[in-house]
Amino acid sequence: MARPKIALIGAGQIGGTLAHLVALKELGDVVLFDIADGTPQGKALDIAEAGPAGPFDATLKGTTDYADIAGADVCIVTAGVPRKPGMSRDDLLGINLKVMKSVGEGIAANAPNAFVICITNPLDAMVWALREFSGLPHEKVCGMAGVLDSARFRHFLATEFEVSMKDVTAFVLGGHGDTMVPLTRYSTVAGIPLPDLVDMGWTTQEKLDAIVQRTRDGGAEIVGLLGNGSAFYAPATSAVEMAESYLKDQKRVLPCAAYVDGAYGLDGFYVGVPTVIGKDGIERVVNIKLSKDEQAMFDKSVDAVKGLVKACKEIDGSLA
Ligand code: APR
Protein backbone atom coordinates (compact mmCIF):
# COMPACT_ATOMS: atom_id res chain seq x y z
CA MET A 1 0.00 0.00 0.00
CA ALA A 2 1.31 3.47 -0.83
CA ARG A 3 2.54 5.55 2.09
CA PRO A 4 0.29 8.42 3.14
CA LYS A 5 1.24 11.81 1.71
CA ILE A 6 1.69 14.65 4.15
CA ALA A 7 1.92 18.19 2.80
CA LEU A 8 3.47 20.84 5.01
CA ILE A 9 2.49 24.32 3.87
CA GLY A 10 5.21 26.58 5.27
CA ALA A 11 8.77 25.31 5.63
CA GLY A 12 9.94 27.61 8.41
CA GLN A 13 10.75 26.65 11.99
CA ILE A 14 7.59 24.64 12.63
CA GLY A 15 7.39 23.27 9.06
CA GLY A 16 10.95 21.93 9.17
CA THR A 17 10.41 20.38 12.60
CA LEU A 18 7.17 18.79 11.38
CA ALA A 19 8.97 17.26 8.40
CA HIS A 20 11.64 15.80 10.65
CA LEU A 21 9.09 14.34 13.09
CA VAL A 22 6.88 12.90 10.36
CA ALA A 23 9.93 11.21 8.79
CA LEU A 24 11.28 9.89 12.11
CA LYS A 25 7.88 8.43 12.96
CA GLU A 26 7.50 7.09 9.40
CA LEU A 27 4.00 8.53 9.17
CA GLY A 28 4.30 8.98 5.43
CA ASP A 29 6.04 10.80 2.59
CA VAL A 30 6.49 14.54 2.99
CA VAL A 31 6.05 17.48 0.63
CA LEU A 32 7.38 20.73 2.07
CA PHE A 33 5.87 23.78 0.36
CA ASP A 34 6.98 27.40 0.82
CA ILE A 35 7.11 30.61 -1.22
CA ALA A 36 10.75 31.20 -0.24
CA ASP A 37 12.48 29.25 -3.03
CA GLY A 38 15.36 27.13 -1.73
CA THR A 39 14.15 26.78 1.87
CA PRO A 40 11.75 23.85 1.37
CA GLN A 41 14.14 22.10 -1.05
CA GLY A 42 17.09 22.54 1.32
CA LYS A 43 15.20 21.30 4.39
CA ALA A 44 13.70 18.36 2.52
CA LEU A 45 17.14 17.25 1.27
CA ASP A 46 18.78 17.72 4.68
CA ILE A 47 16.12 15.58 6.38
CA ALA A 48 16.18 12.97 3.58
CA GLU A 49 19.93 12.67 4.13
CA ALA A 50 19.23 11.86 7.80
CA GLY A 51 17.22 8.81 6.69
CA PRO A 52 20.03 6.24 6.61
CA ALA A 53 21.26 7.22 10.08
CA GLY A 54 17.74 7.65 11.51
CA PRO A 55 17.04 5.14 10.22
CA PHE A 56 13.74 5.87 8.54
CA ASP A 57 12.06 5.34 5.19
CA ALA A 58 10.31 8.39 3.84
CA THR A 59 10.53 10.44 0.68
CA LEU A 60 10.85 14.17 1.18
CA LYS A 61 10.34 16.78 -1.50
CA GLY A 62 10.68 20.56 -1.22
CA THR A 63 8.70 22.73 -3.60
CA THR A 64 7.27 26.15 -4.42
CA ASP A 65 4.63 24.61 -6.68
CA TYR A 66 1.21 23.77 -5.23
CA ALA A 67 0.79 21.04 -7.86
CA ASP A 68 3.24 18.94 -5.82
CA ILE A 69 0.80 18.64 -2.89
CA ALA A 70 -1.71 16.91 -5.19
CA GLY A 71 -3.66 14.18 -3.44
CA ALA A 72 -2.18 14.85 0.01
CA ASP A 73 -3.89 12.95 2.84
CA VAL A 74 -2.95 15.54 5.43
CA CYS A 75 -1.98 19.22 5.10
CA ILE A 76 -0.43 21.00 8.05
CA VAL A 77 -0.38 24.77 7.62
CA THR A 78 2.27 26.97 9.23
CA ALA A 79 2.61 29.50 6.41
CA GLY A 80 2.72 33.08 7.62
CA VAL A 81 4.70 35.15 10.06
CA PRO A 82 5.39 34.36 13.71
CA ARG A 83 5.40 36.77 16.66
CA LYS A 84 8.24 39.01 17.73
CA PRO A 85 8.73 40.03 21.38
CA GLY A 86 6.01 42.44 22.49
CA MET A 87 3.53 41.26 19.83
CA SER A 88 0.35 39.39 20.62
CA ARG A 89 -0.88 36.62 18.33
CA ASP A 90 -3.64 39.01 17.24
CA ASP A 91 -1.08 41.46 15.83
CA LEU A 92 -0.42 38.92 13.05
CA LEU A 93 -4.00 38.99 11.78
CA GLY A 94 -3.79 41.22 8.67
CA ILE A 95 -0.68 39.61 7.19
CA ASN A 96 -1.59 36.00 7.93
CA LEU A 97 -5.16 36.42 6.66
CA LYS A 98 -3.78 37.08 3.15
CA VAL A 99 -1.57 34.01 3.51
CA MET A 100 -4.62 31.88 4.47
CA LYS A 101 -6.35 32.99 1.27
CA SER A 102 -3.59 31.70 -0.98
CA VAL A 103 -3.09 28.54 1.10
CA GLY A 104 -6.84 27.81 1.18
CA GLU A 105 -7.06 28.14 -2.60
CA GLY A 106 -3.94 26.00 -3.08
CA ILE A 107 -5.35 23.21 -0.92
CA ALA A 108 -8.81 23.37 -2.50
CA ALA A 109 -7.34 23.06 -5.99
CA ASN A 110 -4.84 20.29 -5.23
CA ALA A 111 -5.74 18.37 -2.09
CA PRO A 112 -9.48 18.77 -1.49
CA ASN A 113 -9.74 15.44 0.36
CA ALA A 114 -7.01 16.20 2.90
CA PHE A 115 -7.41 16.52 6.64
CA VAL A 116 -6.14 20.05 7.27
CA ILE A 117 -4.51 21.15 10.50
CA CYS A 118 -3.85 24.88 10.81
CA ILE A 119 -1.15 26.18 13.16
CA THR A 120 -0.80 29.74 11.86
CA ASN A 121 -1.76 32.43 14.39
CA PRO A 122 -4.00 33.99 15.54
CA LEU A 123 -5.12 30.39 15.45
CA ASP A 124 -8.88 30.36 15.97
CA ALA A 125 -9.50 33.14 13.43
CA MET A 126 -6.99 31.74 10.92
CA VAL A 127 -8.50 28.24 10.97
CA TRP A 128 -11.93 29.75 10.40
CA ALA A 129 -10.61 31.85 7.48
CA LEU A 130 -8.72 28.88 6.01
CA ARG A 131 -11.93 26.82 6.05
CA GLU A 132 -13.84 29.66 4.37
CA PHE A 133 -11.19 30.18 1.68
CA SER A 134 -10.76 26.45 1.00
CA GLY A 135 -14.43 25.47 1.12
CA LEU A 136 -13.48 22.06 2.55
CA PRO A 137 -15.94 20.28 4.88
CA HIS A 138 -15.81 21.68 8.42
CA GLU A 139 -14.90 18.32 9.94
CA LYS A 140 -11.79 18.14 7.73
CA VAL A 141 -10.36 21.50 8.84
CA CYS A 142 -9.18 22.10 12.38
CA GLY A 143 -6.59 24.04 14.33
CA MET A 144 -3.76 22.93 16.59
CA ALA A 145 -3.79 24.77 19.89
CA GLY A 146 -5.37 22.74 22.68
CA VAL A 147 -2.88 19.86 22.45
CA LEU A 148 -0.05 22.38 22.83
CA ASP A 149 -1.72 24.40 25.59
CA SER A 150 -2.56 21.27 27.56
CA ALA A 151 0.95 19.87 26.98
CA ARG A 152 2.39 23.03 28.51
CA PHE A 153 -0.05 22.74 31.43
CA ARG A 154 0.88 19.05 31.89
CA HIS A 155 4.58 19.82 31.79
CA PHE A 156 4.28 22.49 34.49
CA LEU A 157 2.08 20.25 36.66
CA ALA A 158 4.34 17.21 36.34
CA THR A 159 7.32 19.36 37.34
CA GLU A 160 5.44 20.77 40.34
CA PHE A 161 4.30 17.32 41.52
CA GLU A 162 7.52 15.50 40.57
CA VAL A 163 5.58 12.79 38.72
CA SER A 164 5.73 11.47 35.17
CA MET A 165 4.11 13.66 32.56
CA LYS A 166 2.45 10.50 31.25
CA ASP A 167 0.30 10.35 34.39
CA VAL A 168 -0.84 13.97 34.20
CA THR A 169 -3.87 14.81 32.09
CA ALA A 170 -4.96 18.38 31.50
CA PHE A 171 -7.92 20.07 30.00
CA VAL A 172 -7.77 23.42 28.23
CA LEU A 173 -10.75 25.02 26.48
CA GLY A 174 -11.42 28.18 24.52
CA GLY A 175 -9.34 30.29 22.17
CA HIS A 176 -5.56 30.00 21.81
CA GLY A 177 -4.79 33.28 23.47
CA ASP A 178 -4.70 35.09 26.77
CA THR A 179 -8.32 34.11 27.42
CA MET A 180 -7.78 30.34 27.14
CA VAL A 181 -9.51 28.35 29.87
CA PRO A 182 -7.41 25.71 31.67
CA LEU A 183 -9.96 23.60 33.58
CA THR A 184 -8.44 22.44 36.86
CA ARG A 185 -11.25 20.14 37.96
CA TYR A 186 -10.95 18.13 34.74
CA SER A 187 -7.15 17.98 35.01
CA THR A 188 -5.71 15.09 36.97
CA VAL A 189 -2.76 13.10 38.20
CA ALA A 190 -3.64 9.45 37.56
CA GLY A 191 -7.32 10.37 37.74
CA ILE A 192 -7.10 12.52 40.90
CA PRO A 193 -8.46 15.99 40.06
CA LEU A 194 -6.22 18.99 40.80
CA PRO A 195 -8.54 20.49 43.48
CA ASP A 196 -8.25 17.18 45.39
CA LEU A 197 -4.47 17.36 45.12
CA VAL A 198 -4.60 20.81 46.72
CA ASP A 199 -6.70 19.31 49.55
CA MET A 200 -4.16 16.51 49.85
CA GLY A 201 -1.38 19.06 50.33
CA TRP A 202 0.46 18.23 47.08
CA THR A 203 0.42 21.90 46.15
CA THR A 204 -1.28 25.15 47.17
CA GLN A 205 -4.06 27.02 45.40
CA GLU A 206 -1.63 29.93 44.89
CA LYS A 207 0.89 27.70 43.14
CA LEU A 208 -1.84 26.15 41.03
CA ASP A 209 -3.11 29.62 40.03
CA ALA A 210 0.43 30.58 39.03
CA ILE A 211 0.73 27.45 36.86
CA VAL A 212 -2.59 28.25 35.16
CA GLN A 213 -1.33 31.75 34.39
CA ARG A 214 2.01 30.44 33.14
CA THR A 215 0.10 28.11 30.80
CA ARG A 216 -1.88 31.05 29.42
CA ASP A 217 1.39 32.94 28.88
CA GLY A 218 3.26 29.86 27.64
CA GLY A 219 3.70 31.08 24.07
CA ALA A 220 4.83 34.56 25.13
CA GLU A 221 7.38 33.06 27.54
CA ILE A 222 9.08 31.27 24.64
CA VAL A 223 8.85 34.33 22.36
CA GLY A 224 10.54 36.38 25.08
CA LEU A 225 13.34 33.86 25.50
CA LEU A 226 14.01 33.27 21.79
CA GLY A 227 13.93 36.93 20.90
CA ASN A 228 13.43 36.29 17.19
CA GLY A 229 10.56 33.89 16.65
CA SER A 230 8.06 31.72 18.45
CA ALA A 231 7.88 28.16 19.74
CA PHE A 232 8.32 25.37 17.25
CA TYR A 233 9.27 22.04 18.82
CA ALA A 234 6.17 21.68 21.00
CA PRO A 235 3.74 23.06 18.37
CA ALA A 236 5.09 20.64 15.74
CA THR A 237 4.96 17.66 18.11
CA SER A 238 1.37 18.52 19.02
CA ALA A 239 0.22 18.73 15.40
CA VAL A 240 1.88 15.40 14.60
CA GLU A 241 -0.12 13.78 17.42
CA MET A 242 -3.31 15.02 15.72
CA ALA A 243 -2.19 13.93 12.24
CA GLU A 244 -1.32 10.47 13.54
CA SER A 245 -4.74 10.07 15.14
CA TYR A 246 -6.36 10.84 11.77
CA LEU A 247 -4.05 8.67 9.65
CA LYS A 248 -4.29 5.66 11.96
CA ASP A 249 -7.95 6.20 12.89
CA GLN A 250 -6.90 6.17 16.55
CA LYS A 251 -9.93 8.17 17.70
CA ARG A 252 -7.80 10.02 20.22
CA VAL A 253 -9.65 12.48 22.43
CA LEU A 254 -7.69 15.66 21.78
CA PRO A 255 -8.52 19.30 22.36
CA CYS A 256 -8.33 21.34 19.17
CA ALA A 257 -9.86 24.33 17.45
CA ALA A 258 -12.90 22.71 15.85
CA TYR A 259 -16.10 23.86 14.23
CA VAL A 260 -18.71 23.78 16.96
CA ASP A 261 -22.31 23.76 15.85
CA GLY A 262 -24.79 23.17 18.64
CA ALA A 263 -22.51 22.30 21.56
CA TYR A 264 -21.45 24.86 24.17
CA GLY A 265 -24.25 27.18 23.09
CA LEU A 266 -22.43 27.92 19.82
CA ASP A 267 -23.92 27.85 16.34
CA GLY A 268 -21.22 27.36 13.78
CA PHE A 269 -18.01 28.70 15.28
CA TYR A 270 -14.33 27.65 15.53
CA VAL A 271 -12.95 27.47 19.06
CA GLY A 272 -10.92 25.13 21.26
CA VAL A 273 -12.94 22.14 22.50
CA PRO A 274 -12.25 18.47 23.22
CA THR A 275 -12.74 16.37 20.07
CA VAL A 276 -12.39 12.84 18.78
CA ILE A 277 -10.03 12.63 15.78
CA GLY A 278 -10.33 9.59 13.51
CA LYS A 279 -10.46 8.65 9.83
CA ASP A 280 -13.35 11.05 9.16
CA GLY A 281 -11.50 14.01 10.67
CA ILE A 282 -13.14 15.70 13.64
CA GLU A 283 -15.60 12.91 14.32
CA ARG A 284 -17.09 14.31 17.51
CA VAL A 285 -17.06 17.38 19.70
CA VAL A 286 -17.15 16.38 23.36
CA ASN A 287 -19.68 18.63 25.05
CA ILE A 288 -18.85 18.79 28.76
CA LYS A 289 -20.89 20.55 31.39
CA LEU A 290 -19.31 23.77 32.60
CA SER A 291 -19.82 25.45 35.97
CA LYS A 292 -21.08 29.03 35.97
CA ASP A 293 -17.56 30.42 36.39
CA GLU A 294 -16.10 28.16 33.71
CA GLN A 295 -18.89 29.07 31.29
CA ALA A 296 -18.21 32.77 31.95
CA MET A 297 -14.49 32.27 31.18
CA PHE A 298 -15.35 30.27 28.06
CA ASP A 299 -17.80 32.94 26.87
CA LYS A 300 -15.13 35.61 27.33
CA SER A 301 -12.71 33.56 25.28
CA VAL A 302 -15.31 33.01 22.54
CA ASP A 303 -15.99 36.76 22.49
CA ALA A 304 -12.29 37.43 21.93
CA VAL A 305 -12.27 35.02 18.97
CA LYS A 306 -15.50 36.58 17.62
CA GLY A 307 -13.74 39.96 17.65
CA LEU A 308 -10.93 38.53 15.51
CA VAL A 309 -13.32 36.91 13.04
CA LYS A 310 -15.13 40.24 12.72
CA ALA A 311 -11.78 41.95 12.01
CA CYS A 312 -11.07 39.35 9.29
CA LYS A 313 -14.41 40.11 7.65
CA GLU A 314 -13.63 43.83 7.72
CA ILE A 315 -10.22 43.28 6.08
CA ASP A 316 -11.47 40.87 3.39
CA GLY A 317 -14.96 41.60 2.12
CA SER A 318 -15.27 38.16 0.50
CA LEU A 319 -15.48 36.64 4.00
CA ALA A 320 -18.42 38.76 5.16
N1 APR B 1 2.67 30.54 1.37
C2 APR B 1 3.53 29.60 1.84
N3 APR B 1 4.45 29.87 2.77
C4 APR B 1 4.52 31.12 3.23
C5 APR B 1 3.66 32.14 2.80
C6 APR B 1 2.70 31.80 1.81
N7 APR B 1 1.84 32.71 1.33
N8 APR B 1 3.97 33.29 3.47
C9 APR B 1 4.98 32.99 4.30
N10 APR B 1 5.31 31.68 4.16
C11 APR B 1 6.38 30.93 4.83
C12 APR B 1 7.64 31.72 5.10
O13 APR B 1 8.44 31.81 3.93
C14 APR B 1 8.29 30.89 6.22
O15 APR B 1 9.22 29.95 5.71
O16 APR B 1 5.94 30.51 6.12
C17 APR B 1 7.10 30.17 6.86
C18 APR B 1 6.87 30.54 8.31
O19 APR B 1 7.96 30.07 9.02
P20 APR B 1 8.57 30.86 10.28
O21 APR B 1 8.70 32.31 9.96
O22 APR B 1 9.79 30.13 10.71
O23 APR B 1 7.42 30.73 11.39
P24 APR B 1 7.08 29.47 12.35
O25 APR B 1 7.84 29.62 13.62
O26 APR B 1 7.22 28.22 11.59
O27 APR B 1 5.55 29.79 12.68
C28 APR B 1 4.57 29.78 11.65
O29 APR B 1 2.80 29.23 13.18
O30 APR B 1 2.68 29.18 15.51
C31 APR B 1 2.42 29.91 14.35
O32 APR B 1 2.59 32.18 15.14
C33 APR B 1 3.20 31.20 14.33
O34 APR B 1 1.91 32.15 12.57
C35 APR B 1 3.15 31.55 12.87
C36 APR B 1 3.22 30.17 12.19
| Domain ranges within the chain, ordered by starting residue | 5-144, 146-312
14 labeled part of a ligand binding site: yes
Indicate whether 90 pLDDT > 90.
no
- 35-40: long-range pairs with CB below 8 Å, 24+: 35/64, 35/79, 36/11, 36/64, 37/64, 39/11, 39/12, 40/11, 40/15, 40/64
**pLDDT at residue 85, as a whole number:** 86
Global pTM?
0.98
Pocket-testing residue among 13, 64, 81, ligand 1, by greatest number of atoms within 8 A of Cβ:
81
- Per-residue pLDDT tens digits for 112-123: 999 999 999 999
| Rounded distance from Cα 11 to ligand 1 centre (Å) | 7
Contacts of 225 (CB under 8 A, 6+ apart): none
The mean pLDDT value for 106-134 works out to: 97
Best residue among 8, 34, 121 to mutate for probing ligand 1, ranked by most atoms within 8 Å of CB: 34
pLDDT of residue 320: 87
Q: Are 21 and 30 in contact (CB under 8 A)?
A: no
217 — phi, psi (to 5°)?
A: -95, 10
Atom of ligand 1 nearest to the CA of 79: 16
Flag whether pLDDT at 150 surpasses 90: yes
pLDDT class of 40 with cuts at 50, 70, 90 = very high
Q: Please state the CATH superfamily assignment of the domain spanning residues 5-144 in this structure.
A: NAD(P)-binding Rossmann-like Domain (3.40.50.720)
- pLDDT per residue over 270-304, tens digit each? 999 999 999 999 999 999 999 999 999 999 999 99
Atom of ligand 1 minimally distant from the CA of 119: 29
176 catalytic, yes or no? yes
Domain 146-312 has CATH 2.40.40.20: no
User: Given a cut of 90, is residue 31 above it in pLDDT?
Assistant: yes
State percent of the chain over pLDDT 70: 100
User: For ligand 1, what atom is nearest to the CA of residue 16?
Assistant: 26
User: Are 89 and 122 in contact, with CB atoms under 8 Å apart?
Assistant: yes
- Distance, CA of 22 to CA of 195 (rounded, Å): 37
Residues touching ligand 1 (Cβ under 6 Å) are: 9-15, 34-36, 39, 78-83, 92, 96, 99, 102-103, 119-121, 229-230, 232, 235
